[in-house]
């Protein structure tokens, strides 16, 4: 009897993890996991995988490749296991990954929400407020740009990528400290091969099993600091995409580094403009027409760049991410990214 139960251990443990996520009080998870056990996991990952001289993402992919190759070769054996038995092993392996996903990071989905922690009053953004916020962002980003580059030429790439990991970590940790959150001084944010993630319409990814944030090196260089901070925010225990966007933005604009400030406002603007266009095309066209030439040129360059880095199978990444987020309790799926507008606007009302 015990042997039969033991055979199902990983499937049972995965189900228990989902159950615990849904029944444990958020205060319990916040205190004993997010601000307790998870901090030991964070330190362990920082001092193991984080010390490797190359992205640990490759180690994880190599592990998966070995497992898949082993299964594939097994099919050509003279007496392979029955189909149902092989299928059970696949489910067990997936359950194994799910279990360790929760242990290493996943229970953070049940922690106290960032908006509750920071007492943010989330309200729908009116059209008038959206237009005002868009204009204010354009004015601010133009001022930052003029301080970096006095003409309409593209800002040199080196301005954004020089010491990007340390600068991004420092900016994020400063914000987390001010907000009263724990943070890692050693968390990694590294770049993987061009289009390795973008082929699936994913700019960056945090893998709990290795504890480091990874950003596709093909992400446009002026957007990279924001992306790195977003993934590092995940690594510090924040699960919702909007929360990580919010923390990344706040960290960018509070930084003393002008290139990081620009990256934050640029990414924020990339959310504001599509939202405005969907709600008031006339206001959108008017704002675009009056936009400073240098900024308009930057946006056009980025648009043309991403047209070269958009792939026919990119919808797969969006679909999988949407399903994953909904399974983990983020009911609006990939639309959760857009919630950053509401979080930032609510924060600005407090910070005035």
Name the residue among 231, 201, 174 with its Cα closest to residue 316.
201
- Residue 108: burial class (beta carbons within 10 Å; 0-12, 13-18, 19+): buried
pLDDT value for 30: 97
CA-CA distance, 104 to 206, in Å (whole number)? 12
pLDDT value for 271: 93
Lowest mean pLDDT among 11-25, 162-176, 334-348: 334-348
Say if residue 82's pLDDT is above 80: no
Token pair of 142 as six digits: 């133009």
Token pair of 60 as six digits: 């994880």
Q: Please report the DSSP string for 136-166 in residue order.
A: HHHHHHHHHHHHH-SSSSPPPTHHHHTTHHH
Q: In this structure, what is the dihedral angle of CA atoms 315, 192, 224, 38, given to the nearest 10 degrees? A: 90
Q: Could you report the per-residue pLDDT of 236-271, keeping only the tens digit for each?
A: 999 999 999 999 999 999 999 999 999 999 999 999
pLDDT confidence band for 165 (50 / 70 / 90)? very high
pLDDT confidence band for 54 (50 / 70 / 90)? very high
Q: Report, as an integer, the average pLDDT of 196-210.
A: 93
Say if residue 336's pLDDT is above 70: no
Q: Could you report the per-residue pLDDT of 117-131, keeping only the tens digit for each?
A: 999 988 888 999 999
Using CA atoms, how far residue 291 sits from 90, 129, 287, 318, 341, in Å, is 54, 18, 6, 31, 20
pLDDT confidence band for 324 (50 / 70 / 90)? low
DSSP state, residue 109: G
Q: Report, as an integer, the average pLDDT of 288-297.
A: 95
Token pair of 344 as six digits: 């930032």
Helix 241-254 and helix 164-178, axial crossing angle in degrees, nearest 10: 100
Using CA atoms, how far residue 78 sits from 74, 87, 90, 176, in Å, is 9, 18, 20, 57
Per the prediction, the chain carries an average pLDDT of: 90
């Amino acid at each position: 009897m015990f042997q039969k139960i033991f055979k199902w251990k990983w499937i049972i443990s995965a189900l228990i993890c989902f159950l615990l996520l849904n029944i444990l009080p958020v205060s319990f998870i916040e205190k004993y996991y997010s601000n307790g056990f998870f901090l030991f996991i964070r330190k362990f990952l920082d001092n193991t995988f984080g010390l490797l001289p190359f992205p640990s993402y490759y180690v994880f992919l190599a592990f998966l490749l070995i497992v898949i190759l082993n299964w594939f070769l097994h099919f050509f054996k003279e007496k392979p296991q029955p189909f149902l038995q092989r299928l059970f092993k696949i489910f067990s392996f997936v359950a194994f990954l799910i279990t360790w996903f929760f242990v290493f990071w996943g229970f953070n989905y049940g922690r106290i929400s960032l908006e509750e922690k920071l007492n943010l009053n989330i309200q729908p953004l009116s059209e008038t407020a959206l237009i005002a916020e868009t204009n204010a962002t354009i004015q601010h980003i133009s001022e930052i740009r003029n301080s970096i580059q006095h003409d309409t030429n593209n800002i040199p790439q080196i301005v954004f990528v020089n010491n990007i990991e340390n600068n991004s970590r420092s900016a994020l940790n400063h914000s987390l400290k001010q907000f009263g959150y724990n943070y890692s001084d050693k968390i990694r944010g590294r770049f993987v091969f061009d289009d390795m993630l973008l082929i699936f319409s994913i700019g960056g990814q945090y893998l709990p099993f290795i504890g480091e944030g990874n950003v596709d090196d093909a992400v446009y260089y002026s957007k990279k600091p924001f992306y790195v901070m977003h993934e590092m925010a995940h690594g510090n225990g924040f699960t919702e995409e909007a929360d990580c966007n919010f923390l990344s933005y706040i960290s960018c604009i509070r930084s003393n580094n002008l290139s990081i400030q620009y990256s934050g406002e640029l990414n924020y603007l990339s959310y504001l403009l599509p939202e405005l266009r969907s709600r008031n095309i006339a206001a959108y066209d008017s704002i675009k027409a009056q936009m400073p030439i240098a900024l308009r040129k930057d946006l056009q360059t980025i648009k043309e760049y991403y047209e070269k880095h958009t792939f026919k199978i990119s919808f797969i990444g969006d679909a999988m991410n949407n399903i994953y987020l909904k399974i983990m309790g983020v009911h609006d799926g990939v639309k959760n990214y857009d919630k950053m507008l509401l979080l930032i606007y609510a924060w600005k009302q407090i910070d005035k």
